[in-house]
Structure 1
Amino acid sequence: MSAVGLPPGVVLLERGWLSSNNIVLLGNGEAAVVDSGYWTHAAQTIDLVERVAQGRAMTTLVNTHLHSDHCGGNAALQAAHPALRTLIPPGQAAAVRDWDPVALSHEPTGQACPAFRFDDVLVPGTAVRLGAADWEVHAAPGHDPHSVILFEPASRTAISADALWENGFGIVFPELEGERAFEEVSATLDLIERLSPRLVLPGHGRAFTGVAEALARARSRLAAYVADPRRHAAHAAKVLLKFKLLELQQVRRADFLTWAENAAYLRLVHERFASGMPLAEWVDALLRDLAASGALREENGALTNA
């Protein structure tokens, strides 16, 4: 639980990288939650947010975007709190209403997310009451074309999701699909700079106040990706592999290779950025890079998360 410099009634639950952070906002007798983590951590998410709520009614669940690590606990939270009002960004409302795990990216990335309902959408340019304050909703495309960030002007607190971390930002998924989105990342960083937050609560990692420095690091990373999109693609592929290993913790190498070779998103990245190398060899090289960086261990034909 992170509490450094947080405004009253705002609690950041810093999670591991398989689950996004949860932000709990406390009001008069009620509580709201921003993002719900990955589905395998749902029971832990419910326990954590209920402990913070301390008996307050859980009234609102907000998703900054609909990647599985940010909305995977939605269904469990809704089951535990049937009156919970769920708000999502508008861009994928139809995909949630019709429950299309392909359009939502869950199936192509080889991830999972139990189906959930939503009650309304977060409209950029408006504000939403969460806890004891009104939070501005701002469109934040780049990492995800439908993502939003939330900003509370009185305390100058930004909930940045994966648009800005203390050391970078999330994979720019549209770029992997052949759409121009690095420019959108830049525009979203400019937006955060204009908002001039005192404090940023990111989707992953600790809360931070060194916003100018974080923006400079993010822009430096973005410039490197613009100069060499293959570097971004290789990083993205390794993140997807690491994410699955975080979920599984340990798996036979042969089984993991089979999963990777059948993950549609990894096949897409391979076809667009590494088609000169057979898919199996490319995945094998990525796994060797992850092992060399200390992100996994390999023994007796098994891969173990590290």
Structure 2
Amino acid sequence: MTSGTSPILPPHITVFERGWLSANNILFAGPGPATLVDSGYHTHAAQTVALVESALDGRPLERLLNTHLHSDHCGGNALLQQRWPQLQTLIPPGQFAQVRDWDPVALSYVPTGQQCAPFRADGTLEPGQELELGGRIWQVHAAPGHDPHAVLLFEPEERVLISGDALWEHGFGVVFPEIEGEGAFDEVAATLDAIERLAPLVVIPGHGSVFGDVPEALARARKRLAGFVAAPLKHARYAAKVLLKYKLLEWQHVALADALAWLHATPYFSALHARYFAELPADEWARTLVEELVAGGAARREGDLLVNT
């Protein structure tokens, strides 16, 4: 299954590794229904459709699964459903009603200042459920923490894990419930423990390359989590910069005044400011975030423009 730390995936799994604006897409094109896991951000939706069309070579896409409903994981759902109208879409439990009624506030798109075209959900991925992907039986496991509704997909025979944003090779996703004032660091720890018990040989993460040294990745994730638990302000600052950087990935370049206006208008930044940084005036805090992105090499200033790097 692995050679050293270089993972070898089964031939029926194709991973489209995307940039950080879009989550990775995992295509199962072997036996059984052709299935895609996660669909990327809406600005890359046409590219997602083209990648899938090319890989399937005339075969229809029959199922779409989402590990969770953050905009970078489901932003291509709508266009995929338009391209293949019979596509069955399964989402994690907990937000089915919000998708059915299309509530972009409850689904986090308005609070994060991101976008996602409305899509249809046909059913849910329930923890404890099993489903066939590429001729193998995969298990659905709960993965709360980064997102309270997230799930993992695990194939126990070859021990392949689709981890979403619960585990990357060098960390995990922002713990969004913490931004909302709901403690979730314990849930991150529990999800990491659950992954350790599954003992995957190969992990297909939501972002970054497929990796095989899972114990090392878990050790790094736990160290990072311990730092956040010890200093919640560190996580809050990290979350704020990640959200701004993510939007800058979409913009690529933007007038600094427009970036600051977006910060002031985006509810998650107001929540972070009120909860963790209220000693600074909102304008000063917003400018500090921009300065920290530039100082860290994640952006640069070109006159009145803020530019992605």
User: SS state of the match for residue 200, structure 1?
Assistant: strand
User: SS state of the match for residue 78, structure 2?
Assistant: helix
In 2, distance between residues paired with 1:132 and 1:276?
56
**Alpha-carbon offset, residue 143 of structure 1:** 0.1
Letter of the 2:83 partner, please give it.
Answer: A
**Percent identity between the two aligned chains:** 60
**Alpha-carbon offset, residue 129 of structure 1:** 1.8
In 1, distance between residues paired with 2:170 and 2:24?
15
Tell me the alpha carbon deviations over residues 98-147 of structure 1, each in whole angstroms, 9 at most, x when there is no partner: 00000000011000000000111001001122222221000000000000
In 1, distance between residues paired with 2:259 and 2:34?
40
In 1, distance between residues paired with 2:283 and 2:54?
45
- Conservation of the 8 A alpha-carbon contact between 1:29 and 1:57: no
- Conservation of the 8 A alpha-carbon contact between 2:39 and 2:45: yes
From 168, 171, 175, the equivalent of 2:174 is: 171
Gap regions ≥5 residues in structure 2: 1-5
**Alpha-carbon offset, residue 30 of structure 1:** 4.2
**Alpha-carbon offset, residue 230 of structure 1:** 0.4
- Conservation of the 8 A alpha-carbon contact between 2:255 and 2:305: yes
- Conservation of the 8 A alpha-carbon contact between 2:32 and 2:132: no
Match in the other structure for 1:77: 80
From 283, 293, 297, the equivalent of 1:290 is: 293
Distance 1:29-1:139 versus aligned 2 partners, 3 A rule: closer
Q: Does 1:39 align with 2:35?
A: no
In 2, distance between residues paired with 1:97 and 1:29?
27
- Conservation of the 8 A alpha-carbon contact between 1:29 and 1:56: no
From 143, 158, 161, the equivalent of 1:140 is: 143
Match in the other structure for 1:186: 189
Match in the other structure for 2:253: 250
- Conservation of the 8 A alpha-carbon contact between 1:26 and 1:132: no
In 1, distance between residues paired with 2:121 and 2:178?
28
Letter of the 2:124 partner, please give it.
Answer: V
In 1, distance between residues paired with 2:56 and 2:94?
30
- Conservation of the 8 A alpha-carbon contact between 2:32 and 2:133: no
From 100, 112, 119, the equivalent of 1:116 is: 119
User: SS state of the match for residue 91, structure 1?
Assistant: coil
- Conservation of the 8 A alpha-carbon contact between 1:25 and 1:132: no
Letter of the 2:202 partner, please give it.
Answer: L
User: SS state of the match for residue 276, structure 1?
Assistant: coil
| Structure 1 stretches of 4+ moved >6 Å | none
In 2, distance between residues paired with 1:54 and 1:213?
38
Aligned counterparts, 1:44-55, within 5 A: 44-55=47-58
- Conservation of the 8 A alpha-carbon contact between 2:40 and 2:74: yes
Q: Does 1:259 align with 2:280?
A: no
In 2, distance between residues paired with 1:79 and 1:4?
34
Query: Please, what is the CA RMSD of the aligned residues?
Result: 1.0
User: SS state of the match for residue 188, structure 2?
Assistant: helix
Letter of the 1:254 partner, please give it.
Answer: A
Letter of the 2:226 partner, please give it.
Answer: A
Q: Does 1:215 align with 2:193?
A: no
Tell me the alpha carbon deviations over residues 21-72 of structure 1, each in whole angstroms, 9 at most, x when there is no partner: 0000112374100000000000001111222222222110000000000000
In 1, distance between residues paired with 2:116 and 2:102?
10
Task: Give the number of equivalent residue pairs.
Answer: 304
In 2, distance between residues paired with 1:42 and 1:74?
8
Match in the other structure for 2:24: 21
Match in the other structure for 1:67: 70
- Conservation of the 8 A alpha-carbon contact between 2:146 and 2:175: yes
In 2, distance between residues paired with 1:292 and 1:174?
28
Tell me the alpha carbon deviations over residues 238-267 of structure 1, each in whole angstroms, 9 at most, x when there is no partner: 000001000011110001100111101111
TM normalised by structure 1 equals: 0.98
Gap regions ≥5 residues in structure 1: none
In 2, distance between residues paired with 1:160 and 1:22?
12
In 2, distance between residues paired with 1:60 and 1:263?
33
Match in the other structure for 1:234: 237
Distance 1:4-1:98 versus aligned 2 partners, 3 A rule: same
In 2, distance between residues paired with 1:52 and 1:114?
24
